[in-house]
């Protein structure tokens, strides 16, 4: 399965959601996650993210290992998102910022 890592938090560009053939993306207040029970490893979403926030679960960046379980957990309670929407107005200010997991809203 593929997972969304913490760089998506507060950026949430949503370019990724429209290409998913199985509607595996779920939306929270300031982050998206992928449902591992739906993802079929098609790889289509990975290049769509402009800030490289999507990785195969076996290849997440060092320090991001907890995001694998977090995607699975949050996908259970957040609604599916299939249509692109405007990113937060200040999304650009948050690209690549460290330790964004502390800013996650549930």
Q: Which of 15, 18, 19, 91 binds ligand SF4 (CB under 6 A)?
A: 19
Interacting partner of 40 out of ligand F3S, ligand SF4, none (Cβ under 5 to 8 A depending on kind): ligand SF4
Residue 3-42 contact track with ligand F3S, rule CB under 6 A, x = bound:
-x---x--xxxxxx---------------x----------
Residues 6+ apart with CB under 8 A from 34: 1, 2, 3, 4, 24, 25, 26, 45, 54, 71, 75
Q: Which two tokens stand for residue 43?
A: 């790889």
Give the number of other CB atoms < 10 A from CB of residue 5.
25
CA-derived radius of gyration, the chain = 12
Residue 44-83 contact track with ligand F3S, rule CB under 6 A, x = bound:
----xx-x-xx-----------------------------
């Amino acid at each position: 399965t593929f997972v969304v890592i913490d760089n998506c938090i507060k950026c949430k560009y949503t370019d990724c959601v429209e290409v998913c053939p199985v509607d595996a993306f779920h939306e929270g207040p300031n982050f998206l996650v992928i449902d591992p029970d739906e993802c079929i490893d098609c790889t289509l979403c990975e290049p769509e993210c402009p800030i490289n926030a999507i990785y195969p679960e076996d290849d997440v960046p060092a320090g991001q290992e907890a995001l694998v379980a977090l995607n699975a957990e949050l996908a259970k309670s957040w609604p599916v998102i299939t249509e692109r929407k405007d990113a937060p107005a200040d999304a650009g200010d948050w690209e690549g910022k460290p330790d964004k997991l502390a800013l996650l809203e549930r």
